[in-house]
Structure 1
Amino acid sequence: MSRNGRFSTNGKSFSYRLNGWKYSVGIRVILFVGLAFLFYMALSGKWIPQRYDLQLGMASDRTILAPMQMENGIETQKAKEEAAKKVQPVYTIVSMKNEVLVETVFEKLRQINNDEALSDKVSVFRTVFPSLYQEHIASLYKSATAGLPNDMFVAEMKARLEEQQYKIPEEVYFKFPRLTKEDLSVMEPVTRDIVSRLMSDQIQNAQTARAKVAELVNTSSLTKNTNRELVQEIARFVLTPNRFLNQQATDEEKAKARDNTKPVYINKDDVLVHKGEQISEELYQRLKTAGLLKDKVNYWPQLGLIVTVALLACGLYMFIRNSTLPIQQNNAQLFMLLVIYVLNIVGMKIVALGQNLEYPYVGYLAPIAMGTMLIALLLDLPLAVISAVIFSIISSVVYNIKTDEMFDYRYGFVSLVVGLTAVFAIQRANQRSSILKAGIMASLSGAIASASLILLENDYTRNELLFSTSFAIAAGILTAVLVIGLMPFFEASFGILSPLKLIELSNPNHPLLRKLLTETPGTYHHSVMVGNLSEAAAESVGADGLLCRVGSFYHDIGKTRRPSYFIENQMNMENPHDRIEPALSKSIIVAHARDGVEMLKEMRIPKPIRDIAEQHHGTTLLKYFYHKALKQREADPESAAGEEPITEEDYRYPGPKAQSREAAIVGIADGVEAAVRSLRSPTIEQIDTMVRKIIKERLDDGQFNECDLTLKELDTIAKTLNETLLGIFHSRIEYPSDVPAGSATKGAGTA
């Protein structure tokens, strides 16, 4: 350890070596290569599945799993045929108008029997009855064909009617000429009634209906046996089928059954081929469909993927390089970005495991906004926006289940909407509940975006709309829960002070701040004033104003161990430094920085705030005690004979010097507030002179050599401090132009 208390190795400070890693170009290149490799792994599974050199008939040397959900064509075809077999035949009922045929038959019987010129009526009847049947069928075709289903059905009906035509026995024809008018008058209504009753049922086989005729005739009002016999024959002749198989409609129903049969899927990671299994034609086609066969060497897809990944990584690199964000040079922040990307993409992959063709909208459940929210909270808003675009591109590939397309930007669009909504909803978060509110906003935007895409589809179902919106809403809530859970991990692991954490630490009820207020009220008031000054100064040069404010609250916490030795806490009491040696006073004063760091470590206060407490004095000189020691040595030179001479190094703070702009700004504000407070009646000129003097002394003393404050920024800080101090001390400042002649002494005395 060097004389001023700082670590050194071969002339280089420990902080320098640490910063060497933190800002190493080589480490930076490795991290960007890691990002590119992450993109490659995220996309390669979908775009370039592993391929195998297999041929028909050979045995597989490994077990091959399905890289994605895919349809099992053979099993699907079997399922479709089974469904088609279960389809019942479709029959069509046709109104045959057989009562009209009954009337025609009896009309012919009367006409022939009344024709005395006919000598051979039996032969006439043999010819007339078949012709009457054919004429009836022809008339039926003419009147009903337009209403029949199709030509195939008409042909089927005609064949069935001709096939089932009733042939009247030969002996019956000899009985027809014997019928009288009275017989015909009695027989006709009975015949019509029997035919009407039987034809009211669905008749597929006319023979079945004809078997019922005898029973109906026997229960009729007919008394003559001859009449009964002839009515039976006429009724059997007239009866025809009226229910016909509609083969085309049956085929259509079978086709519908096949179409409505759900495909049989081979799920992702199911075994396609077992080790040692012989490659059959079926397995070969299945592997070919899955794109797993190395049928020919083709490196172009690999090259295309590498170029795509390089474009994504280079785009992110150029955005960071041309920004003014700390991550532009800070490898620790770049590594944290890589970790966030890894977590987000792993989360996407986990959700993708549950996605299939039956439930494709599971992809909306992915907490993609988790990454953008973490980046917005822990790093920066513009970087979160560009990351939302990258995540949307990746999600459109990861959740694409269409084997014939490279992207499904439905998921990319929803991811982009959700990611951007989360970023802009979280940008001004000041408490943990703000994360939950941002998650709810992401839920609503995701639900609206997914619903809009579903509504654009013509054949969507209510379940699809319900599932997509429900998954999107659940994703937003899940995102908020994950972000709330991961924030402490990143804050602790990377020493990140998020705005939310800083707001929590600024709570006056924090144990250390309560201790500062109750035990050292003067220091507490001083710390609050320094916080106001440093926040304004930091924001004027683009530094972290909130960190400066909260760091100022804790920068003098070490004074609580010996509060009475610091002037702001000496209320109506003697200054104890008047009774002790300057060297001891120096040790007590210097110790407050070290004591503060120890107390902050015990309370697990994040490192950036501890750094401010440790570095806000840098290696500045305690001028009062240094000069007091010199005066004592000059006043009593004999007693100091033989002792080592007093040097400035003996009365300097051990440091280290400010390593960040925030620590330097808090140090400036600390010195300015104490100096201006010591003025009785500060004027504008006095304040400006005091501020610039303090800044110049620290600059000349090399206190800003290890932080990146520029001279222009120091000038801006000086102007901002002047303006802020004027607002604080305005009631005590008398402007020269407003002071009456001769009243300067009076004003100073009453200030």
Structure 2
Amino acid sequence: MSLPAFQDRFRKANRNTLRLGLLLMVAVLSFASLVLPIALRPSSFPLKIGDVSAQDIQAPHDLTYASDVLTEIKRTEAESGVPPVYLPADPGITRRQIESLRNALAYITAVRADSYASLEEKYADLAMLKQLDLDSESMAQILGLSDARWEIVQQETLGVLEQVMRNTIREPDLRDARRNVPTLISFSLTQEQAQIVSNLVTQLIAPNSLLSQELTEKARAEARETVQSLDRTYIAGETIVSRGQVLTALDWEALEKFNLVKPPTNTQDMIAAGFIVALNTVFIGLYFVRRRPAVVADSRSLLVIALTFLLFLFSARLVIPNRAILPYIFPLSAFGLTIASLFTLEIGLVVSLSLGILAAYGLPYSLDLTLFYVLSSICGVLILGRARRIASFFWAGIGISGAGAAIILAYRLPDTITDWIGIATLVGSSFLNGMAAASLSLLLQYFLSQLLGLTTALQLLEVSRPDHPLLQFILRSAPGTYQHSLQVANLAEQAAEAIGADGLLVRVGAIFHDAGKAMNPSFFIENQLPGRLNPHDDLDPRVSSQTIISHVSDGVTLAKKHRLPPRLQDFMCEHHGTLITRYQYSHAVKAAGDRPELVNIEDFRYPGPAPRSKETALLMLADGCEARARSELPKNEEEMRLLIRKVFDFCQREGQLDNTSLTLRDLNRAADSFTKTLLNTHHPRIRYPELQPNPSAAEAALPFPSPAAESIPTQPQKDTRQEP
């Protein structure tokens, strides 16, 4: 393998490695944008029940869920509303209490009747009574009663207790029953005796209707079962927890349902995000490998696409999550419009599809949001087309708005959660999205094109206006060059359209390609008047050659002065490639005694470089074909085709087309287009016959030339200095 071939293969390998590295870098950063918590509105908050919220937390989307906490609250309320269930009054309890009272009274009577016990011993005996708890005062009162009075007290005590216990007494009613005892005692007793009766009866009153725990639990269970599961609904944007609010169990449950306090499993999310990013990476890679658009050859353009893609993706993942309206306002479609206006419509469609999928991945309503982004972007890019008018951006914005509104209506009308006000709000957001996308793409394509030296259709249309200062300068200083450039522009534009190249770029580049001739117009034959001396006749061939070659650098100088897009400078530098000024070279060889070794051919060579794109190659071919056709004036289609084929073969033989992507099919189509255009341009004209009537004296006096004068053919001049 030769050294140049090895170097060429090495450069291609390096370029492929850089492209693969760029693709992998975009994939890694895209994956990071999906899994890292970069959203302005966090997807989860470090809160627990009882904490005070430091900010308002709103519902990121519509949600209806079965609330366990709310259902439990209602069931607890229903359960607590069920009163305790008591059994019917039990007569056995009344009998036991009366029997206990009789036993106690009999014991007290025995103590009173004990004549051998001292007073202190009687106090001690009464203190040992189990049924009653008597204090010293009560003991003294009992022991101080006469037998007759004690008998009355005993009878009254048994009667009052029996009367009280005849009623149904429950535990909650026990205090009331004891409080009512004094009202039941006979008024025939003294205050002291009534106090003794009340003291004895009160201690033996007991509930005779007992609580049934089993029946109560059953009734409460039945009450709980009557409460159905309760749903809780939040509308997107509704406040779940306000700033400064203490977090309750009900609030916690809502936050948990929205995954705002307990994020989903990271491992599963990362694996899922990895699959979607890998799929998009393979998709983009296959597109660039299989379709091989022209942008692949320009690493700078690929870098612009990658950085803009990441900028929009990270912005979307930063702003959109956990918001209700903003996802439908965010102008994601501006990315597709920008790429389509800077490069090609096809690339704009492909990258818009990938961005729309990643931007909406994992978000609530991700399916309809994905379709919202993808379809609206595609519609906008298709309407934008080649972006040759500012109005195209406006109509693209309208298309984005309409497509987005259709997606919203298609997916939200069947949704019973979203009301008409919500739907109208989202539709309005869609129209705002379209206008924002169109405006943003206009700004982005302008700044990116200025910053990175890219050329847009709007820039080309702006500089190609006839009133552009540089075009006016060419027209005034070198009108022949101006007309020549227009003819070459028509020729090259038609060929570009035929092979699928950028016709607008070729046309504008052709209009300006010879701008440098306006600096020294008289040195170029198309600007020389017939009969005037040719300044090249008195110049040394080298000086003459350098004067002609200088129109390339002069053109670049003028382009920079008038701030033409950098892409147009390529047409100025490459339209002669690295060819030589053969007329001056041949004169130099002749002056050296026909000894070529004495002449340095590099003194007569254009600085180049050779054409590096289809567009500049078409300009070189069109320039050469137009010049030869103008000088040789082929008489028919066969001669025209032969002339064009000579120009094509010469450029190929000189290696001027080696760095372009022109195929043999492209060259054949370009040759056919050149033939058709040149034949129409150089079509023969009808010779007007001279009229021989005897004009009247008045007609003979009119100052009009004879029609025959207009038909006198002039001898064409041959441009021998710029033959390819």
TM superposition shift of 1:497: 1.8
1:352 equivalent to 2:316? Answer no
Distance 2:13 2:566 in 1: 16
1:630-645 matched pairs, under 5 angstroms: 630-634=589-593, 645=598
Q: Tell me, in whole angstroms, the C-alpha distance in 2 between the residues paired with 1:327 and 1:261.
A: 42
Q: Once the 2 structures are TM-superposed, how far is the Cα of residue 506 of structure 1 from its aligned partner?
A: 1.8
Distance 1:296 1:563, change over 3 A: closer
**What does 1:488-637 correspond to in 2, within 5 Å?**
488-572=446-530, 573-634=532-593
- Structure 2 contact 59–239 (Cα < 8 Å) conserved: no
- Give CA-to-partner distance per residue, 1:145-201, whole Å, 9 cap, x none: xxxxxxxxxxxxxxxxxxxxxxxxxxxxxxxxxxxxxxxxxxxxxxxxxxxxxxxxx
Residue from 702, 713, 721 that aligns with 2:655: 702
1:577, CA displacement in angstroms? 1.0
User: Among 339, 355, 358, which residue is 1:394 paired with?
Assistant: 358
The whole-number CA distance in structure 2 between the counterparts of 1:590 and 1:301 is 64
Query: Following superposition of structure 1 onto structure 2, how do residues 273-422 of structure 1 map, counting pairs within 5 Å?
Result: 299-349=267-317, 351-352=319-320, 356=323, 360-397=324-361, 400-401=363-364, 408-422=366-380
User: Tell me, which stretches of 5 or more residues in structure 2 are unaligned?
Assistant: 78-222, 688-710, 717-724
Post-superposition CA distance 1:612-633 (Å, at most 9, x none): 1011101112111112222333
Deviations 1:43-68 (A, max 9, x none): 225899999999999x9xxx999898
Tell me, yes or no, if the aligned pair for 2:277 and 2:358 is still in contact at 8 Å.
no
- Report the counterpart of residue 29 of structure 1 in structure 2: 20
1-structure distance, mates of 2:295, 2:715: 53
Match of 2:675 in 1: 722
| Aligned residue in 2 for 1:41 | 32
Residue 381 of structure 1: how far off its partner (Å): 2.1
What code does the residue aligned with 2:355 have?
F
Whole-angstrom CA distance in 2 between matches of 1:450 and 1:289 = 25
What is the CA deviation profile of residues 230-272 of structure 1, one whole-angstrom value per residue up to 9, with x for unaligned ones? xxxxxxxxxxxxxxxxxx9xx99xx9999999975258xx999
Q: CA separation in 1, counterparts of 2:630 and 2:608?
A: 25
Q: Secondary structure, in 3 states, of the residue corresponding to 1:265?
A: strand
How far 1:341 moved relative to its partner? Answer: 1.3
Equivalent residues in 2 for 1:443-454, closer than 5 Å: 443-454=401-412
1:356-376 CA-to-partner distances (Å, cap 9, x unmatched) read: 3xxx23321111211111122
Report the counterpart of residue 188 of structure 1 in structure 2: none
Shift of 1:468: 0.8
Q: Determine what percentage of the aligned residue pairs are the same residue.
A: 26
> Where do 1:672-687 residues align within 5 Å?
672-680=625-633, 682-687=635-640
Q: Secondary structure at the match of 2:632?
A: coil
Q: 2:644 aligns with which of 685, 691, 701?
A: 691
Q: Would you say the 8 A contact 2:58–2:237 is kept in 1?
A: no
Q: Secondary structure at the match of 2:564?
A: coil
Q: Please list the CA deviations of residues 714-739 of structure 1 after superposition, one character each: whole Å capped at 9, or x if unmatched.
A: 333222211221121123599xxxxx
How far has the Cα of 1:298 moved from its partner? 6.6
Structure 1 gaps, min length 5: 1-10, 86-247, 274-278, 402-406, 638-642, 735-745
Structure 1: how far apart are the matches of 2:471 and 2:46?
A: 72
CA contact (8 A) 2:59 2:237 kept: no
Contact 1:54 1:293 (C-alpha < 8 Å) held by counterparts = yes
The equivalences for 1:421-432 within 5 A come to 421-432=379-390
Paired with 2:437 and 2:236, the residues of 1 have a C-alpha distance of 38
Q: CA deviation at 1:750?
A: 9.0
| TM-score after normalising by structure 1 | 0.61
Q: Secondary structure at the match of 1:497?
A: coil
Aligned match of 2:202: none
| Matches of 2:668 and 2:686, distance apart in 1 | 23
Q: How far apart are 1:531 and its partner, in Å? A: 0.7
* 1:113-150 deviation per Cα after TM superposition (whole angstroms, max 9, x unaligned): xxxxxxxxxxxxxxxxxxxxxxxxxxxxxxxxxxxxxx
Tell me how far apart the structure 2 counterparts of residues 289 and 391 of structure 1 sit (CA, whole Å). 29
Query: In 2 relative to 1, CA 693–296 (structure 1 residues): closer, same or farther, beyond 3 Å?
Result: closer
Q: Aligned equivalents of 1:295 and 1:731: distance in 2?
A: 81
CA RMSD of aligned residues (A): 4.7
Q: Is the 8 A contact 2:584 2:604 kept in 1?
A: yes
CA contact (8 A) 1:490 1:496 kept: yes
Matching residue of 2:240? 265
Name the aligned partner's letter for residue 491 of structure 1. S
Residue of structure 2 equivalent to 1:743: none
**What is the DSSP-based 3-state SS (H/G/I as helix, E as strand, rest coil) of the residue aligned with 1:458?**
coil
Note the C-alpha offset of 1:329: 4.2
The answer on 1:485 being equivalent to 2:460 is: no
Q: Over residues 625-657 of structure 1, what are the superposed CA-to-partner deviations in whole Å (9 max), with x where a residue is unaligned?
A: 11222233339x9xxxxx981132221212221
Paired residue secondary structure (1:655): coil
Aligned to 2:392: 434
Q: SS of the counterpart of 2:413? A: helix
The structure-2 alpha-carbon separation of the partners of 1:608 and 1:64, relative to structure 1 and needing over 3 Å to count, comes to same
In structure 2, the CA distance between the partners of 1:463 and 1:618, relative to structure 1 (3 Å rule), is same
Decide whether aligned partners of structure 1 residues 520 and 19 sit closer, same or farther in structure 2, where only a CA change above 3 A counts: farther
Letter of the aligned partner of 2:343 in structure 1? L
| Structure 2 residue matching 1:634: 3-state secondary structure | coil
Native 8 Å contact 1:523 1:569 kept in 2: yes
Q: Which amino acid aligns with 2:336?
A: T
What's the counterpart of residue 81 of structure 2?
A: none
Q: Deviations over 1:518-550 (max 9, x none)?
A: 211100010011111111222333322221111
Q: Displacement of 1:340 after TM fit? A: 2.5
Whole-Å separation in 2 of the counterparts to 1:294 and 1:453: 29
**Aligned residue pair count:** 530
Q: Distance in 1 between matches of 2:44 and 2:402?
A: 45
Instruction: From the superposition, tell whether residues 322 and 296 of structure 1 become closer, same or farther in structure 2 (CA, over 3 Å).
Output: closer
Alignment of 1:65-76 (within 5 A): none
